[in-house]
Chain A
Amino acid sequence: MPEIPKTFGLLAEFDNTADVLHAAENVRDAGFRKWDVYMPFPIHGMDKAMGLKNSKVGWFGFLGGVTGYTTGMLMIWWMNAIDYPVLIGGKPMFSPHGAFPPSYELTILFTAFGAIGGMLFLNRLPRLHHPLLKHKRFALATHDKFFIVIETADPKYSEAETRKLLAAAGSQRIEMVEE
């Protein structure tokens, strides 16, 4: 039995940054939830135009940093002062000064892990499959075109109305994307 392809959403193409920014503002004001703008580089002001809140990646980085510093200090204290103390040059078994440089480096290392891990987690990446990536025209989203996609799963979605909105926003080329 041949499967009937489901539609993922409406894909509207734009030629330049100014048009796609204004179109995004219109889509935001129309109250859509499940939609996105795709572009080859981040456009300044697009987060505001889409009504996005500040990214939460910072918290992941912060947690990473705290973990790193604590790990460093505890590790060095436990290894050199508790588990196998060796007296060297009359120096104290544990001193926060000597333990600081490696702990500092671990803070940075774990902040980086946290930030990148947080970014990938929030973006749900890596992802091996996406309906848009099958679409021929969409390949230009990493080249020189800008796209707005409104998903059919959005409660406000209606094919005729949404198409009209995107056309009014200045898109010359609107296509359906299959799931």
Chain B
Amino acid sequence: MSDAASQIAVPVPPKELERAPLVLNNRSFGWISDRVSAITEGKAPKWWWAAFIPSFTLLGVLGAMLFYQATTGVGVWGNHHPTMWGWDIINFVWWIGIGHAGTLISAILFLLRQRWRTGVNRAAEAMTIFAVMCAGIYPGMHVGRVWFDWWLFPIPTYQGLWPQFRSPLMWDVFAVSTYFTVSVLFWYVGLIPDLATLRDRAKSKIRQFLYGLGALGWTGSNRHWSNYEKAYLILAGVSTPLVLSVHSIVSLDFAVSQLPGWHTTIFPPYFVAGAVFSGFGMVLTLLIPLRSMCKLEDIITMRHVDVMCKVTLATGSIVGYAYAMEFFIAWYSGSAVERFAFINRAMGPYWWGYWIMVTCNVVVPQLFWFPKIRRSLLVVFVLSILVNVGMWFERFVIVVISLHREFLPSNWDYFKPTWVDIMTYLGTFGLFFTCFLLFMRFLPMIAVSEVKGVTAQADPHHPAAKGNGGGH
């Protein structure tokens, strides 16, 4: 027998089935930590200051608006009968929805073994945390007397009264605060090995001390990695049902009520899909400029942009389906009030809001079917902003249009936001971008250890492992 007969034929995939590598240009391990850490080292670039100063100013505006609202009363907002939920609840749902992409990337894609997540998960998780912070402000302020916010938590008042757990609003308190806490913990656990990287390359004593404190004495021991990876897996495992539950419970704030337009069973899945849709929109809006500003094109590659566009397309299509189904059920229900609520959305006084929503959320994502569009960064950037415009109007449609014309026509009214509403909303952008810019300046924006782990040379059985993995 010849030698050839004893060999196994290894099928070589055809060229068109080969996937683009996750880290381009065969970058070494050292290159990855150098490039990502460099963003946090040295002087801040001019563009960073150019972004930070306006963001910080807007944060000041937020502080002023919240102070004005807290000292004067909720009347400074446009909310009044019958539209008792206005921009505050729209923006609450909008921001918390944006957060969902971060958890989806970090948890669900981890469980699905989508290795491309490593390039974007750190920044997306940070986005989640800051978006939830922005969201949390609204219900906290909407209660009117902010100094009684602690009534939301299971702490008895002086009369011994407890929160009332039959209300979905209480479920929401637990969902959102758990979401925030677990997101922060998940993010921090992911950061530990990378903080150790920053500690070990720190030149100044103060950096060494602060990053060392954050790294908790991490050495990279495999006995530690073994427990660490298990903990990370569990966190991903629990964050998955968590992220699905958060927006479901947010939707129950609406769906448990008896209001036409709100009282529907489609709300939980439809809210979750919309949340992921808007979140990916925001991830694209943030990362497309950042990848070129920070020269991370080899880590956040065109393949990453491409898959994120596809997720946006998929979730956008689910959202479009949900809009159609809502209309169908309104007609099919045979309830005149329900039917009216939906016709009023599309053809009532706020028809423009409804059609902006449909254009941005149903038509715009369909453009992502075309590879040419997915490959044009400028177009993707513009479309990703439109996605979030559309999602803002979706919440506007749900909150304002459903409320402004309720059962009694004598109760009908036309809602208008006040300048305080608008400035508070702009102010939350200040909070969001201030936090995000500080994050990218002081913490590794890319999950360094995870990205190293998905390179070809990280796999000990890959031919690249034997090559010089340490060179530059």
* A interface residues (Cβ-Cβ under 8 A, vs B): 15-21, 24, 36-47, 50, 52, 54-58, 61, 65, 75-76, 79-80, 83-84, 86, 88-89, 91, 95, 98-99, 101-102, 104-106, 108-109, 111-113, 115-116, 118-120, 122-123, 125-130, 132-133, 138-145
Contact = CB atoms under 8 A, between A and B. Distances in A.
A-B pairs with lowest CB-CB distance, top 3? A127-B217, A119-B231, A126-B216
A25 B261 CA distance: 64
A156 B452 CA distance: 34
Given A18-B465, A139-B200, A144-B29, A44 B460 contact: yes
Contacts of A19: 466
B231 A18 contact: no
Contact of B245 (A41, A101, A119, A130): A101
A57 B452 contact: no
B146 to A, nearest CB: 22
Nearest to A121: B227
Contacts of B457: 16-17
A138 B227 CA distance: 21
Nearest to B453: A41
Nearest to B231: A119
A21 B242 CA distance: 37
Contacts of B227: 55-57, 118-119, 122-123
B245 A45 contact: no
Contacts of B197: 40, 142-143
A99 B241 CA distance: 17
Interface string B460-472: 1100011111100
B167 to A, nearest CB: 8
Contacts of B217: 125-130, 133
Interface residues of B, number: 71
Nearest to A44: B459
Given A16-B468, A41-B449, A116 B222 contact: no
A108 B239 CA distance: 8
Q: Name, among A56, A127, A140, the residue most crowded by chain B CB atoms within 10 Å (CB to CB).
A: A140
Interface string B216-241: 11111111111111110011001101
Contacts of B452: 40-41
A170 to B, nearest CB: 11
B356 interface: no
A144 B171 contact: no
Interface of B: 28-30, 33, 154, 156, 160-166, 168, 170-171, 174-175, 178, 181-182, 185-186, 189, 193, 196-197, 199-201, 216-231, 234-235, 238-239, 241-242, 245, 249, 252, 448-450, 452-453, 457-461, 465-470
Contacts of A127: 216-217
B38 to A, nearest CB: 13
B235 A130 contact: no
A175 B200 CA distance: 19
Nearest to A56: B227
A109 B181 contact: yes
A115 B164 CA distance: 30
B164 A37 contact: no
A36 B458 contact: no
B160 A79 contact: no
B225 A42 contact: yes
Contacts of A55: 226-227, 229-230
Contacts of B238: 61, 65, 108, 111-112, 115
Contacts of A99: 165
27 contacts: A17-B459, A18-B461, A40-B197, A42-B453, A45-B460, A46-B225, A80-B166, A84-B156, A101-B168, A101-B171, A102-B170, A105-B178, A108-B182, A108-B242, A109-B178, A109-B182, A111-B238, A112-B182, A116-B189, A116-B231, A123-B228, A125-B218, A127-B216, A142-B220, A142-B449, A143-B197, A143-B201
Contacts of B469: 15-17, 144
A37 B245 CA distance: 39
B222 A133 contact: no
A40 B468 contact: no
B49 to A, nearest CB: 29
Contacts of B216: 120, 125-127
A113 to B, nearest CB: 8
Contacts of B196: 142
B132 to A, nearest CB: 14
B67 to A, nearest CB: 31
A37 to B, nearest CB: 4
A113 B186 CA distance: 10
Given A17-B460, A17-B465, A44-B458, 7 more contacts: A16-B460, A16-B466, A58-B234, A101-B249, A108-B245, A119-B230, A133-B219
Contact of A47 (B166, B199, B226): B226
Contacts of B224: 123, 125
Given A75-B154, A102-B174, A139 B201 contact: yes
A145 B201 CA distance: 13
A39 B220 contact: yes
A80 B164 CA distance: 7
A178 to B, nearest CB: 16
Contact of A102 (B33, B165, B453): B165
A79 B459 contact: no
A42 B230 contact: no
A144 B200 CA distance: 12
A88 B252 CA distance: 18
A137 B217 CA distance: 17
B470 A145 contact: yes
Contacts of B181: 109, 112
A161 B170 CA distance: 65
Contacts of A115: 230-231, 234-235, 238
A108 B230 contact: no
Nearest to B241: A108
Contacts of A129: 217
B33 A144 contact: yes
